[in-house]
Amino acid sequence: MATPRRAAFTLLELLVSVAVMAALSALTCMAVGSARERARAIKVHAELYGLGVALEAYGIDCGGCFPPVRVNCNSDMQDHWCQLPMELADGRYIPPGPGGGLSATLVDEFNPGHTYKYAAPGPMLLNGTPAGNCQVWIPDDVPLCESAQGRYYYNPQTTPVRWMVWSTGPHPKSEKSCHERAPMAAASWYRGAGDEGVLVRFRDAQTCQFKSP
């Protein structure tokens, strides 16, 4: 009487099974990674909203003026260009920072060790010294910001955008995040998980606030 043969995996079947499991694992990791990035982007927009509220409160208390923009060329501070205004922290509109280049504790979710960035057409401080007005490129079709046509504004009385706060996004050093017309050009905006670019919130001359996608 013949002995029944026991079913067994062939080497090919085993390799196929391993490949399928590896592919499923990779897809799961990608999905988890995308969900995590989306959650971080939601947090960024929430914190930028809070910064918008703080700036408006400061503006009300200061007769419609907003804090100066800070730029540094000192080697130990040049990476902290356009950091959040010390005036907001000093006035307790936002929590003060621990020092070491951080003017506030609102650290960019996507760029540890750096605050979110702030800019506004108006007064600028270079290494802490008055240096004229900050010039910001603003497109002609605000708030869509999709037009390649625009100009640099430096006068807070004539600018169509009073201030902007932004995160440098998941890839702070990427070409899109470092776009020469960021953060107001839609071409520099982050569009979703896996993308590069900045996440920005800004206010127009009529006190309406807008944000990137």
Identify the pLDDT of residue 18. Answer: 63
How far apart (Å, rounded) are the C-alpha atoms in residues 152 and 212?
Answer: 20
Residue with tokens 């932004």: 166
Paired sense of beta strands 122-126 and 117-119, if any: unpaired
* pLDDT at residue 167 in the model: 97
Within 10 angstroms of residue 36's Cβ, the number of other Cβ atoms is 11
Is there a contact between 164 and 201 (Cβ–Cβ < 8 Å)?
Answer: yes
Tokens, residue 192? 């979703």
Look up residue 4 and give its DSSP letter.
P
How does pLDDT run along the chain (213 residues), one tens digit per residue? 555 555 555 655 555 666 666 555 555 555 567 899 999 999 999 999 999 999 999 999 999 999 999 988 765 555 778 989 989 989 999 988 776 667 777 899 999 888 999 999 999 999 889 999 999 999 999 999 999 999 999 999 999 999 999 999 999 999 999 999 999 999 999 999 999 999 999 999 999 999 999
